[in-house]
Amino acid sequence: MMTSKTVITQFFKDLQDSICSELATEDGTGSFQEENWVREGGGGGSSRVMEGGRVFEKAGVNFSAVHGRLPEKIKQSFDVPKDEFYATGISLVLHPGNPYVPIVHMNLRYFELEDRLWFGGGIDLTPHYVNEAEARAFHLGLQAICDRHDPGYYTRFKSWADTYFFIAHRNETRGVGGVFFDRLQAKPGESISSIFEFVKELGLAFTGLYLPLVRTNSVRNFGAAEREWQLLRRSRYVEFNLVYDSGTRFGLETNGRTESILMSLPPLASWKYNIVPLAGSPEALTVSFLRKDIDWRRG
Amino acid sequence: MMTSKTVITQFFKDLQDSICSELATEDGTGSFQEENWVREGGGGGSSRVMEGGRVFEKAGVNFSAVHGRLPEKIKQSFDVPKDEFYATGISLVLHPGNPYVPIVHMNLRYFELEDRLWFGGGIDLTPHYVNEAEARAFHLGLQAICDRHDPGYYTRFKSWADTYFFIAHRNETRGVGGVFFDRLQAKPGESISSIFEFVKELGLAFTGLYLPLVRTNSVRNFGAAEREWQLLRRSRYVEFNLVYDSGTRFGLETNGRTESILMSLPPLASWKYNIVPLAGSPEALTVSFLRKDIDWRRG
């Protein structure tokens, strides 16, 4: 089957619909508010945000399909004479209200620059409290998808996620990671369809990977101490997104739609000075897990 | 009188003492917690933080005096063969609990690189609710200090602050500005003492410029709506510091003491999607004032 940018774009648009619908059903009380926006240079998007739901304190799911001439800033990073591009994708960040439910992020995107076509993206999990069994199930789920497309994908993309989702000034990973990849092109002799199949499967698997964590944990009781810890962990999420995340920084620098880009930031976050969790506490255990190169698949 | 780095360093250290002492007295219930830290490459500092005070929800006052070889990252910005430097300064950010009391920031620093000596710094005010009379008094106070040292300082440094304390992706200034300057060297035929006198006067004037705003406003009643607005304005403060502030970014990139650098971030901040204040509200009025080139001295 021919894979065209129209087909890919429609897939991401439909994925936004189906994910939002499943999230709204899961939440039960919250609903998504939608803004459609137009990009000056060409194309546009749709931003959907839920705030103050039963499960999701804030949930943002963006779709966009933009085209035109590459901004100068990004053009410099490509060695191409021409600069007509097409880009489409979906991006989401979910901030649950219950500290025992992890924050999750997914971004899947497709890019055309003249005759070059590629996909990029990632899914990563940021628990306020790391639960090893849940991290294991999450990674095994990602690996199963990766393995159906390329036996080397999981190891490569898991390691790439560890490197990418890293808060250098804290010497901490953002969470328990997941997968990350960029500029993923078709192998010689294959078409971009083979990569699209992989990206499709990741996108369609998202709710199946994440919603079990919501169902299990959103009923757990928590108190002021757990809420406070959640707000502190969220502040690290802010630090990552504003200091390191290339999508965020690129969007802000190239005059993107600020409210859509920063929809990823938490509804409430806290910075306290010099927090050191008590030795042996669940908070200390979580911090001990925020490092690269943990093989979560081991039980 | 000879101005040596020892004298300058002692001035900043004493200034930290006197400001902390005045702030603690003003607060009445809060007290500063102090950490002394040592820098691997040479020197160190003292970080003082108050949290949960009656007036100050979070107040950080840093002193440092560091020396050694310039980090590679900063060396590139100076056209010098040698790279032995000495730097000392004071940096503070105060986050009051009452939304009617503005956030304030001051940084004063001295730098020696071989035979080059200069000062940099700034004071700027970030009201959650802009009060024109208070902004006027603040700017007139700064101008009076500037004018005693150079008739061109105020106009130049006020404009520099407008440019520096600007959140480009929001198209907003951080607040009502103040003064900002960098690499300020002695004029030909004068010694660095002349600049030091200016910097000293700014530092010694700080509490006199700011504490009246505390006294007038910290007794004002406020409700949930004003608190919510405060948390939203604080999120813009976070965005400025993490995305634009060169001191913060430089510190994080050169492996500075993270907790001292990020002590400027608010105790609690909120990101809500697509907030547009009601036309004619005090919040909308405040946003209308967040632009460059307002001459606050006009009544």
Residue B284 pLDDT level (bands cut at 50, 70, 90): very high
pLDDT in tens, A96-150: 999 999 999 999 999 999 889 999 999 999 999 999 999 999 999 999 999 999 9
pLDDT at B178: 98
From B169, B242, B271, residue closest to A239, measured CB to CB: B242
DSSP string, chain A: ----HHHHHHHHHHHHHHHHHHHHHHHSS---EEEEEE-TTSEEEEEEEEES-SSEEEEEEEEEEEEEEPPHHHHTTS--S--EEEEEEEEEEEEESSTTSPEEEEEEEEEEETTEEEEEEEEEEE-SS--HHHHHHHHHHHHHHHHTT-TTHHHHHHHHHHHHSEEGGGTEESSSEEEEEEEE-PPTT--THHHHHHHHHHHHHHHHHHHHHHHHHTTS---HHHHHHHHHHHHHHHHIIIII-HHHHHHHHTT--HHHHGGGS-SSB---TT--PPTTSHHHHHHHT-STT--TT--
Decide: B101 and B213 in contact? Cβ < 8 Å: yes
Mean pLDDT of chain B: 95
Contact check, Cβ <8 Å, A259/B268: no
For chains A and B, count residue pairs whose Cβ atoms are closer than 8 Å.
77
User: How many whole angstroms separate alpha carbon B63 and alpha carbon B88?
Assistant: 8
How much is the ipTM here? 0.95
**Is B128 annotated as catalytic?**
no
Residues 6+ apart with CB under 8 A from B269: A268, A269, A270, A271, B231, B232, B234, B235, B237, B238
**pLDDT tens-digit series, residues B41-70:** 899 999 999 999 999 999 999 999 999 988
Model confidence at A282, in pLDDT bands (50, 70, 90)? very high
For the segment A228-238, the average pLDDT, to the nearest whole number, is 98
Is the model's pLDDT at B218 over the cut of 60? Answer: yes
Catalytic residue among B105, B139, B149, B169: B105
Separation in Å, CA of A247 to nearest CA in chain B: 13
pLDDT(A75) > 80: no
| For residues A226-254, average pLDDT | 95
Q: Pick the residue of A50, A169, A265 with the most B CBs within 10 A to test the interface with B by mutation.
A: A169
What number of H helices and E strands is found in chain B? 9, 9
**Å from A149 to nearest chain B CA?**
37
pLDDT of residue B2: 61
Contact B51 A170 (CB under 8 A): no
Q: A90 pLDDT exceeds 60? A: yes
Give the residue on B whose Cα is nearest the Cα of A35: B274
Average pLDDT estimate for A70-75: 76
With CA atoms as reference, the chain A residue closest to B254 would be A169
Confidence of residue A2 (pLDDT cuts 50, 70, 90): low
Mean pLDDT is lowest, of A21-30, A250-259, B89-98, for: A250-259
Q: What is the pLDDT of residue B153?
A: 98
First to last CA, chain A: 40
**Residues paired with A109 in a beta bridge:** A89, A120
User: With pLDDT > 90 as the criterion, what percentage of chain B qualifies?
Assistant: 88
